[in-house]
Chain A
Amino acid sequence: MRNAWQTLFAWLDERLGLHSLYQNLLDRPEPRGNWWNTLGSASLFLFLLQVATGIFLTVYYNPSPDHAYDSIQYIMNEVAFGWLIRGIHHWGASLMVLVVFIHMLRTFVTASYKYPRELTWLVGVGLLLLTLGMGFTGYLLPWHQMAYWATTVGTQIAGSVPFVGEFILKALRGGPDLSALTLQRFFAAHIWILPALMFALIGLHLYLVIKHGESHFPDKDD
């Protein structure tokens, strides 16, 4: 006898193909269980955690020089669990950079970047740069002394490129100085532009991982 849930599932499965989705996405063969192979999924989890906590932070955060600092003080001291949400986002950012980096090291050490996975690697490089970009743009948002001067220095470094340096500096800052425009465009980059690019590249990255399967570990013949 089938119960109601099984009937409902069968109905949905027939139309959505849930079972084959599950088989193709989650029930893939792995080369001998290895903990280093979990780092990509760990990166993905941290990314989604940052997205979720980031969305919650925008409920109270205000990206203007007049209120950015106060709004974060409000989150930390007045809002229930504000310290928790901000804490996760704050520490998760550093952890994500670390995990993504070790994930890259692992695919390097196991030579997984070779044919046919060159594009997986290249897309991965894009993801690493975007992850660092998220850290850079997010760091300014609290608009306290440390954030302000870190961004002053960071944009100054970008400005030291020969010939186009001054243009890059102005494009990053939205003018010659660090101003309300800088805060606003860093905010836009941090919550819209970079995450949108990351979603796209992660989708491509995962498609390639699933298409090619996980690389096997190099042995004596390799």
Chain B
Amino acid sequence: MSGPNRMTRRDFIKITTGAIGGVIAAGIGLPAIGYLLAPALRQDKAGKPVIVAKLAEIPVGKPYPFSFTVTRVNGWERTANVFGGFVIRLSEDPQDVRILSSRCTHLSCRVNWSDEAQGFICPCHDALFDRDGKVVSGPPPEALGHFDYEIDDQGNVVILPVERKTE
């Protein structure tokens, strides 16, 4: 009945069943992967610029702390995250300003300015950063991040709420 290359009825059924099963599995499996990864593939929207201080009220030389809240929609809920930083006026020149993030580059605790140490101290693992945000001692791998900013017509310091690496 069957030559060496003829497919038996059984083999045909097996192969067809396997093939249809494979198509069904792929038809559900591939969308399922997209379904699981959907939140990771979403594009984050850049936040709106935030006014953090009036330049005139900031003394030259002493870091001026500020904080702001960014609310994002995650799934069916709004999540508010508080970010903070320091405006540092290096001289009377209104353009001579640096804005550091207060997020420690080690494990994200908040650093505080210390007059005594003339630097930023992290309470979590005792790190010390200098006035420019460079690491003086402790475990952090890199300098404090900074924010891009501009001074608007009313003399407000306006930042883009995206922390950037400081080289």
Give the interface of A toward B (CB within 8 A). 49, 52-53, 56, 59-60, 62, 67, 70-71, 73-74, 78-82, 84-85, 88
Say whether, besides A52-B28, A84-B31, A79 and B77 are in contact (CB < 8 Å): no
Closest to A79 in B: B38
Could you pull out 16 A-B pairs where Cβ atoms are within 8 angstroms?
A52-B32, A53-B28, A56-B35, A56-B36, A67-B76, A71-B76, A80-B31, A80-B35, A80-B38, A80-B41, A81-B34, A81-B38, A84-B31, A84-B35, A85-B32, A88-B28
Residue from A74, A80, A84, A88 within 8 A of B75 (CB atoms): A74
Chain B residue contacts of A85, Cβ below 8 A: 31-32, 35
Closest to A49 in B: B28
Nearest CB in chain A: distance from B40 CB, A: 11
User: For window 32-59 of chain B, which residues contact chain A by CB distance below 8 Å?
Assistant: 32, 34-39, 41
Chain A residue contacts of B31, Cβ below 8 A: 80-81, 84-85
* Bound complex: CA A53 to CA B41 (Å): 21
> On chain B, which size bracket covers the interface?
10 to 19
Closest to B32 in A: A56
Say whether, besides A52-B28, A88-B28, A70 and B35 are in contact (CB < 8 Å): no
Residue from B32, B34, B76 within 8 A of A74 (CB atoms): B76
* Bound complex: CA A60 to CA B39 (Å): 10
* Bound complex: CA A102 to CA B140 (Å): 67
Is the beta-carbon distance between A67 and B77 smaller than 8 angstroms? yes
Closest to A75 in B: B35
Nearest CB in chain A: distance from B138 CB, A: 39
Chain A residue contacts of B36, Cβ below 8 A: 56, 59
Nearest CB in chain B: distance from A169 CB, A: 31
User: For window 9-43 of chain B, which residues contact chain A by CB distance below 8 Å?
Assistant: 28, 31-32, 34-39, 41
- By DSSP majority rule, is chain A's interface helix, strand, loop, or mixed? helix
A to B contact number (C-beta, < 8 Å): 44
* Bound complex: CA A73 to CA B32 (Å): 18
Is the beta-carbon distance between B32 and A60 smaller than 8 angstroms? no
Closest to B42 in A: A78
Is the beta-carbon distance between A82 and B75 smaller than 8 angstroms? no
Query: What 10 new A-B contacts, CB under 8 Å, besides A52-B32, A84-B31?
Result: A59-B35, A70-B76, A71-B75, A71-B76, A73-B76, A74-B75, A80-B31, A80-B37, A80-B38, A80-B41
Is the beta-carbon distance between A60 and B75 smaller than 8 angstroms? yes
Say whether, besides A52-B28, A88-B28, A81 and B76 are in contact (CB < 8 Å): no
Chain A residue contacts of B35, Cβ below 8 A: 56, 59, 79-82, 84-85
User: For window 108-150 of chain B, which residues contact chain A by CB distance below 8 Å?
Assistant: none
Closest to A52 in B: B28
* Bound complex: CA A49 to CA B32 (Å): 12
Closest to B27 in A: A84
Is the beta-carbon distance between B38 and A78 smaller than 8 angstroms? yes
* Bound complex: CA A82 to CA B34 (Å): 9
Nearest CB in chain B: distance from A69 CB, A: 9
